[in-house]
A and B are shown apart, each in its own frame.
Chain A
């Protein structure tokens, strides 16, 4: 929904301010000191695909390069129920992987993460929640009455599981690239909702709608279950990444991750650990 509001607001602002010749211009600005911080990026799922964990260091904001990988001693994920360890191996500088061999992570279990880096150990935990279903993808013209507008909107038809506490990240991949605008849902609503309206129903508009497609584009929708902490984390990312200028801008704020120093739980590091169930559906816009 917030994406839709933002899109709408932007349209509004553009329209309103068109007359006032509002303008945006790239400027040089000294952002000051840029202390580099450790980042643990661990979003795992229950599929049989290879699972990756990325370790990196933050870099100056205006740096044109991507993040620089960082090498740690070892990484392990443990299933609390079965006590089975999943040892991640180094693929390349900063990238660690695990290939499931009929031992994909199990729905409903709690998992622990430990990252060993010299004298320090960084830990976190996450419980895998449920996801709903995706039955089909449908497409429709953005303005059916306007033959010149060749844009399509896409939507998926799927259901939230019956019962409370199903938090999901609805990820959209356009031509196999993750779209940075995304939706997160709290029991098929936008926020925690006392009356649990919408629970167990079809995912609602605008959670299930996506804009900006043209004929022949590939769309993949993934629903990935997340913990409540992850839900707030993603909401914060959404605000931070899609914050522009103007009246609707929110303050730049640091994200609140869930990975911390094992010896000092107050010492949080950047990044997040979430283990979720995942379902995907792809289609070609036509």
Chain B
């Protein structure tokens, strides 16, 4: 460790050396209206000759020879700002950008705004501003971040209502979902209909699918980086919405003008109250409760020019109940951040976070009860440096360490006062990583980013190491040869992985580039789930001596081009190939819950995915939106499944087309529509049956093929219209009317074989649709300032 820090320092020193005669312009990029930091803003001087990007905390620094320049500050959703400066000496300058009118107010004004995707070295990245997300027609009119990113190229889902999302053929546990840097282990409310992010508290959303920078690690397939608002530091503002499923309210404002601000947002669903009159007749449902809520809050304080602190937190929970039974789950996160500017070129972010996901399940009758809960908890400290070395080099490096506590199941059965404990032992682990990555302008037209992340994972005691027999009988649980007990803090198993990362961008012209990205990722946490879609009961487990870390190598190649009179069309075409090792699968009929010997139920396999993604986006003008098309394939090969040969993953979809369009009719009225088409996912169906042990209709699949048939294709059309109220000095209101699934297609979530459908006692093939009709909705949003 010591030697690594030393080499980083040396590296820094080396680069510092040749930057003597230059001057530096540095500072923060902020939003004019509310003082929010604008993360990732592109800064260039004299065209593309000198360019840099603000980091994810809004800080930028550009070093160049003294002289007169036209600086250009541009970012998606903001008017580009041109600034002529005669730079004779190093200077600190905070920049304020104004949101592009078309997005912030929906007006028909056509603005000149060029997106900078072509110039950035980042590839396979989709940024969505909350303004864009709000334009997409939504289920029940409720804006939702995870449902919105499912409309991007390379992103799919198992089906309507399934929790999470799949990126480039990866499993849902392979997405690193960050809310202000704290990982969120389950991003769903109401199973998967809504996500945990309150759009009123979110600033921006970035999805990284490939060429993943070294700052990120721990998951194979993607990073969904959700940043919360800092809170308006200029004036108070109240935002809210009343919808059919839930209502929202958020308050933000300065605590001390331009010095400290806060944002606090709350959501609560009232499906239970609304549904009550309809379920009076059914005693089970009458006594049923189901609701969710979440609270999101953030405070920030500018101590001085060089120091800022932020504290943010999220608490959310879903609660379901039926007579004699209860089920609840939710996440809690707490993030503390300190941003420090050492000098014009060196920026530090230190984050301390805590994140927790837990669920509880209980049954009870008059005399006895059974209660069960499970938790994954982690605490992490990370330090990231951005070093803007010179005009050609920007170095990011840092270190992160995370301590995990897994409680796979605490279960107690109580019977007339006698209680029996079935709890599984806790598991502990420590994950540490260091990384360094340099973005270098190698030639005028060629920028590369290269680096690596070195990750270390320790599975530590108190715990038991299960040593398994070498040659398991296929289909049977593995046999435990030996159980070795370890004391608290003793290392049971260690893994190390070097994860190289590389990206390159070659600019053909100002408006066209070709990009290449490679990343190796290691993942030490695994979500244990063998159901069609992940459910909140699924348990996270660390890597152990038997569960090896998942590894992925991905290579992506893309062509990016902007065109149109004002460069208002942005296009990209990307191809990717990904290989994944140590993928977890399960023996048939595996026991995954409350099983001390879980490791005996697991199988190991490999995965591969490849595809082509086309993306056409129009950012500005009366009509804007995007079209995305993905052609892809995701497969898996596991000894013990499908006669040991490759088979399609449950979430494999060959074609995926999304068309999203918004048209501003007037300053007050805009309409949106989207169309989604996705090939049916594969599932397994039996072709024969037999009886055994007095049980009839046992399904059999004679050729033992997994995922042997495909469910019908999915397609759907949605519309929405937003009507803004008349302008009042302090009140802005808008009505959102939406129609989801406009032509009422009964899209299949799955099809299955059942021996007894609706008491017909006849084997039947059944199509199950989660949403089988048109879902109209109306909601009202307001802003008070």
From A253, which residue of chain B is reached at the shortest CB distance?
B588
Q: Mask for A5-39, Cβ within 8 A of B = 1, else 0?
A: 10011011011111111111111110111111101
Q: In the complex, which residues of chain B have a beta carbon less than 8 angstroms from the beta carbon of A249? A: 531-532, 750, 752
From A245, which residue of chain B is reached at the shortest CB distance?
B768
Interface check A143, CB cutoff 8 A: yes
Known interface pairs A34-B702, A248-B532. Does A236 touch B692 (Cβ–Cβ under 8 Å)? no
Distance of A35 Cα from B763 Cα, bound (Å)? 18
Stretch at the interface among B118-126, B247-255, B364-372: B364-372
Q: Is the CB of B533 within 8 A of A247?
A: yes
User: Which chain B residues in 162-196 approach chain A with CB under 8 Å?
Assistant: 162-163, 190-193
Known interface pairs A58-B689, A205-B415, A241-B697. Does A29 touch B751 (Cβ–Cβ under 8 Å)? yes
From A40, which residue of chain B is reached at the shortest CB distance?
B692
How many chain A residues touch B (Cβ–Cβ < 8 Å)?
A: 101
Q: In the complex, which residues of chain B have a beta carbon less than 8 angstroms from the beta carbon of A209? A: 365
Q: Is the CB of B684 within 8 A of A198?
A: no
Distance of A41 Cα from B698 Cα, bound (Å)? 12
Known interface pairs A143-B287, A255-B588, A272-B692. Does A61 touch B686 (Cβ–Cβ under 8 Å)? yes
Q: In the complex, which residues of chain B have a beta carbon less than 8 angstroms from the beta carbon of A14? A: 285
User: Which chain B residues in 278-325 approach chain A with CB under 8 Å?
Assistant: 278-279, 283-285, 287-288, 290, 320, 322-325
From A11, which residue of chain B is reached at the shortest CB distance?
B322
Q: Is the CB of B531 within 8 A of A248?
A: yes
Interface check A48, CB cutoff 8 A: no
Interface check B428, CB cutoff 8 A: no
Q: Closest CB-CB distance, B709 to chain A, in whole Å?
A: 8
Q: In the complex, which residues of chain B have a beta carbon less than 8 angstroms from the beta carbon of A189? A: 422, 594
Known interface pairs A15-B322, A35-B702. Does A178 touch B765 (Cβ–Cβ under 8 Å)? no
Q: In the complex, which residues of chain B have a beta carbon less than 8 angstroms from the beta carbon of A16? A: 190-191, 271, 290, 320
Distance of A90 Cα from B773 Cα, bound (Å)? 56
Stretch at the interface among B199-207, B515-523, B612-620, B753-761: B753-761
Q: Closest CB-CB distance, B602 to chain A, in whole Å?
A: 14
Known interface pairs A26-B764, A239-B589. Does A246 touch B749 (Cβ–Cβ under 8 Å)? yes
Q: Is the CB of A26 within 8 A of B766?
A: yes
Distance of A185 Cα from B775 Cα, bound (Å)? 44
| Most central of B274, B290, B593, B688 by chain A CB within 10 Å | B688
Q: Is the CB of A17 within 8 A of B770?
A: yes
Q: Tell me whether chain A's interface is mostly helix, strand or loop, or mixed.
A: loop
Q: Is the CB of A241 within 8 A of B755?
A: yes
Q: Is the CB of A23 within 8 A of B589?
A: no
In this complex, the interface size class of chain B, counting residues with CB under 8 Å from chain A, is 35 or more
Distance of A20 Cα from B370 Cα, bound (Å)? 31
User: Which chain A residues in 192-239 approach chain B with CB under 8 Å?
Assistant: 192-195, 197-198, 201-202, 204-206, 209, 229, 232, 234-239
Known interface pairs A61-B753, A206-B363. Does A247 touch B532 (Cβ–Cβ under 8 Å)? yes
Q: Which of A62, A232, A241 contacts B695 (CB under 8 A)?
A: A241
Interface check A54, CB cutoff 8 A: yes
Interface check A56, CB cutoff 8 A: yes
Known interface pairs A234-B693, A245-B752, A256-B475. Does A21 touch B596 (Cβ–Cβ under 8 Å)? no
Distance of A275 Cα from B413 Cα, bound (Å)? 31
Interface check B40, CB cutoff 8 A: no
Q: Is the CB of A54 within 8 A of B749?
A: no
Q: Which of B327, B368, B693 contacts A8 (CB under 8 A)?
A: B327
Distance of A280 Cα from B505 Cα, bound (Å)? 75
Q: Is the CB of A232 within 8 A of B693?
A: no
Interface check A163, CB cutoff 8 A: no
Interface check A140, CB cutoff 8 A: yes
Q: In the complex, which residues of chain B have a beta carbon less than 8 angstroms from the beta carbon of A56? A: 690-691
Q: Is the CB of A194 within 8 A of B691?
A: no
Distance of A59 Cα from B278 Cα, bound (Å)? 43
Q: Which of A21, A171, A247 contacts B191 (CB under 8 A)?
A: A247
Q: Closest CB-CB distance, B187 to chain A, in whole Å?
A: 15
| Most central of A36, A234, A237, A251 by chain B CB within 10 Å | A251
Q: Is the CB of B161 within 8 A of A247?
A: yes
Q: In the complex, which residues of chain B have a beta carbon less than 8 angstroms from the beta carbon of A63? A: 689, 763
Q: In the complex, which residues of chain A have a beta carbon less than 8 angstroms from the beta carbon of B274? A: 19
| Most central of B322, B418, B757 by chain A CB within 10 Å | B322
Q: Closest CB-CB distance, A143 to chain B, in whole Å?
A: 5
Q: Closest CB-CB distance, A111 to chain B, in whole Å?
A: 16
Q: In the complex, which residues of chain B have a beta carbon less than 8 angstroms from the beta carbon of A64? A: 762-763
Distance of A237 Cα from B697 Cα, bound (Å)? 10
The 12 sampled A-B contact pairs (Cβ below 8 Å) are A11-B325, A12-B290, A24-B768, A189-B422, A189-B594, A191-B595, A237-B693, A246-B768, A249-B531, A251-B683, A251-B707, A270-B692
Please list the 4 inter-chain residue pairs (A to B) with the smallest Cβ-Cβ separation, ordered nearest first.
A236-B589, A245-B768, A253-B588, A23-B772
Give me 17 other A-B pairs in contact (C-beta within 8 A), A24-B767, A247-B192 excluded. A14-B285, A15-B320, A19-B275, A26-B767, A27-B765, A29-B751, A33-B702, A34-B688, A64-B763, A180-B695, A180-B696, A201-B420, A236-B589, A245-B768, A253-B701, A271-B690, A272-B693
